[in-house]
Amino acid sequence: MPTDTHIWNFFKAGGAVQVDFKSGADIANLDKLDQKLWTALSCPATGLRFDAGTLSALDTDKDGRIRAPEVLAAVAWLKARLVSLDSILAASNTLPLSSFNTATEEGKALLTAVKEVLKSLGKADAQEISLADAIDAENAFSATAFNGDGIVPPESVAQDAALSATLADILAATGPVTDAGGKEGVDQAHADAFFAAVAARLAWLESAKQDAAVLPLGDGTAKAAAAAAKVAAKVDDYFTRCELAAFDSRYEEKLNGKESDLDKLSDLLLASGTAELETLPIAKVAANRPLPLDSDLNPYWIAAVAALKADAVVPLLGDRATLTRADWAALKAKLAPFAAWQGSEAGKEAAALSAERLAELAKPEAKKAVDAAIAKDLETAPQRALLQDVDKVLRLNANLLTLLKNYVNMGQLYNPELSPIFRVGSLYIDARVCNLCFEVADVGAFAPLAEASKCHLAYCTLKRPGTGATRTICAAVTAGFAQTLWVGRNGVFYDLDGQDWEAVITKIDEHAISLKEAFWAPWQKIAKMISEQINKLLNARNEAVLAKSTTNIAAASDVATGATPPKKMDGAALASSVAAIGIAVGLLGSAVGGLVSTVSKIAIWKSCLGVLAVILVVSLPSVLITWFKLRGRDLAPILNAGGWAINRRLGFSLKLGRLWTKEAKLPPKSKLTLTDPFADKHTGRNVAIILLILAAVGGGLFYRYRQQKWPFGACRSCCAEPQQEQPAQPEAPAPPAAPAAPAGN
C-alpha cells in the first residue's frame, strides 16, 4: 500500500482531535484520510439547513442518505474536472473558466457546456460562470417541449391531436409524472402500464361475449345485477323471517319489529327515506308469504323493489306481482355468471374508457406514437446531463466545504459565530435562549437514543400561528437552572427563516446543567428542610392551640350548665413547667453565649475562613459531582437519534455551553433603579429578628455569668454568690488519762 505523503492539519474541539481543511489539497486527498478520524460517516439527505440541490447531487443512489463513499465520489468527480480544488475554500457561487481542467475529457466537455450556457444567456465573452447562470439555463431548457427528462406532457405535442388525446387518457388512468419544467406528463413506465391495462380490459370484455350466460340481458345485465345486489340482503332476511314464522307462529309478531322500535316511530315526522325505517323488514312477515312487488312494502324499500322488478324480475322471470323464495333463487342463479365474471375484472386502470375507445388505443399505432414522443424527448438527455453537470460543479464549489465542516469535522458546531446544518432555530424560554435545537420526527424513537447524551433536553411541540402547522423540536439546555423548566411551560421558537412558532414543553430529560445550579442545590435542600420543619412545628402548635381553645370552650359550657370544671394545675405541676421552660431558655442562652464567647476570641480573618470552610463543605461535593457529569455530556447521541452516523464523541466545555444557551443580561451601560415602589415592607419583621438576636445574646451572657465563667476577673470576685457555710464538725473526745502510779513504790 503506498504511503500517504500528504501533511494534514488537525485541531482539537469537544475533546476530540479533528482534521482541518486549509487548502484544496486537503480536500483532494480526503480519500487518503483514515475514516476513523472522520466525525461522521453518514447523515440524512433531508431536514438539514443546507442547499437541497447539493444534497441531491451528492445522494447519487437516491436512498435519502449522504454516505462517506458518496462524499469521496463527489471529490473525485471534481478532481477530474477542475485544475485545483482551492476554489472550494472560497465557497463562492462563481467559478472562473480557467478553473476547468482541459487536460481531461471530462473537463473539456464541461467547459464546452459552460460556454454554451453563457452563449445562450448572451454572455459569450464572460470569463466566469455563476450558479445563477446555470440555474437560468437549466430552467430555460426544462421549459422546452423536449427537455431530455423522458416525460412528455400532452401540451408538448399539441400539434398532433390524436397523440395529445392518448397522453391525456394515460394521465387520467395512471396518474401524472412531473417533468423538469413542472408540467404533468407521461413517462415510459406509465405508458407501458397503460397499454397493458387496455389490452387486459379488452380481453376481459371479449370473454363476456363468448359466454351467453354472462350477459343474459346484454348491456342491461349490469343494471339488473345492481338492482338485485341493492336489495339482496333484505330479501334474504325477509324470506328467512317468513320461514321462521311458519316454523312457529309465536315468532310472527316479534319478527315484524320490536314494540319499542314501533313506539319510537310514532313520535317521528316520517318520510320514505327516514333512516329508522331501514332496519324494519322489507315487507310484513307472515308464514311462507311471498314478497310483494307492488304494494304492502316498507316505504323505505319501495323504490328499490320497483327497480328490482323493472330491471331484473320482468326481463328474466316475466311480469308478476309477487316473488317467491324459488323465484328469488332462480333470479340469483341467472345473475351468478355475471357476478363471477365481474369479480375477475381486469384492466381496471382503463375502466373509465368505452369499448370503442379501448379498441382504438389497442391499435399498434397508438403505442408507437407515444413511444416515439418519449424517445424524441430522451434524445436531448445528453444536453440535459451537461447542464446538470454545470449546475453540480457550481453547487459543490459553493457548498462542499460547508458539508465537510459538518461531516468530516464539526468545525461549524464548535464555532459560535456559525450555525451547524442540523440546527433548526432558537428557543426563547425562562429568560434564556437555547440555540442548539434539533428537528424531531418521532419523540418515541428519538428520546431513548438522545438520553445517552447526558444533556438536559426539553422536547417542545411547535405551532405556527395562523397556519395550523406543527412540528417537534428538541432543545439542549446547557446553562442556567433546571428547576424553572417544567412540562407545560410555554415559550417562543424562531426558526432560521425568522418565523415565530408557539412552543410548549411536552417532555424533559433531566440532567445536570451548570455548576451554579450545583453550588446552590444543597442550600436549597437545607432551606426546604428547614421550611418543612417550621411548617410542621407551626401546624402542630396551631393544632394544640385549637385543641386547647376547644377544651376551654367546653369547660365554659360545663360551668354554665353546672358541670364540674376541670381541675386546675397544682403548684408542683406549675413549678415543674416553669422549671422546664427555664432550663430550655438557659440551654439556648448557654449555646448562644458559648458561640459569642468563642467567636470573640477568634480573629476576624479566621472567622471568615471558617464561614468559607462551612460553605465549601456543604457545596463543594455537589459542585465536584456535577463537574464530572458536565464533562460527560455528548451531542453525538442526539445526532445519532436524528439519523446521523457519528464517528466521534462530541463533548463541549462549560464556556461553549454558556454560548449555546444564553441567559438574560442587561445591555451594556444600562441604568438600573434598585428601589421597588411595590416591594413588601418588612420593618416589623426585621425589628423582631434583631430583638430576638439581642435577647438570645443577652440570655447567653447572663447564663455564663451565673455559671461564674464571666471573662473579667474583677467582676467575678464582687459578683460571685456567697458560698453556703458548712456545719462545724464535733471535736473528737480526748483519750482517757493513764492511771497514776501508787505512792511509795
Q: Which helix (H) or strand (E) holds 523?
A: helix 515-560
pLDDT for residue 392 is more than 50: yes
Sequence-separated (6 or more) residues with CB below 8 Å from residue 508: 456, 457, 458, 459, 485, 486, 487
Tell me the mean pLDDT in the region 23-28. 96
Report residue 568's pLDDT band, with 50, 70 and 90 as the boundaries. Answer: low
Report residue 563's pLDDT band, with 50, 70 and 90 as the boundaries. Answer: low
Nearest to 115 by CA among 132, 137, 87: 137
Asked if 86 and 101 touch (Cβ cutoff 8 Å), the reply is no
From 9-18, 373-382, 591-600, 736-745, the region with the lowest mean pLDDT: 736-745
Helix axes of 364-378 and 188-209: crossing angle, nearest 10 degrees: 170
Asked if 214 and 337 touch (Cβ cutoff 8 Å), the reply is yes
Distance in angstroms (rounded) separating the CA atoms of residues 404 and 50: 12
Q: For residue range 126-143, what is the model confidence (pLDDT) as tens digits?
A: 999 999 999 999 999 998
Mean pLDDT over each residue of the chain, to the nearest integer: 86
Distance in angstroms (rounded) separating the CA atoms of residues 195 and 109: 39
Q: For residue range 63-114, what is the model confidence (pLDDT) as tens digits?
A: 999 999 999 999 999 999 999 999 999 999 999 999 999 999 999 999 999 9
Asked if 426 and 444 touch (Cβ cutoff 8 Å), the reply is no
What percent of the chain stands above pLDDT 90?
60
Greater model confidence, 614 or 367? 367
pLDDT at 719: 46
Distance in angstroms (rounded) separating the CA atoms of residues 4 and 19: 15
Nearest to 138 by CA among 156, 158, 102, 114: 114
Tell me the mean pLDDT in the region 309-328. 93
Region class of 430: left (phi > 0), else alpha (psi between -120 and 50), else beta: left
Q: For residue range 629-644, what is the model confidence (pLDDT) as tens digits?
A: 888 999 999 999 999 9
Q: Cα torsion at 583, 589, 590, 593 (round to 10°)?
A: -170
Helix axes of 515-560 and 604-631: crossing angle, nearest 10 degrees: 110
Report residue 317's pLDDT band, with 50, 70 and 90 as the boundaries. Answer: very high
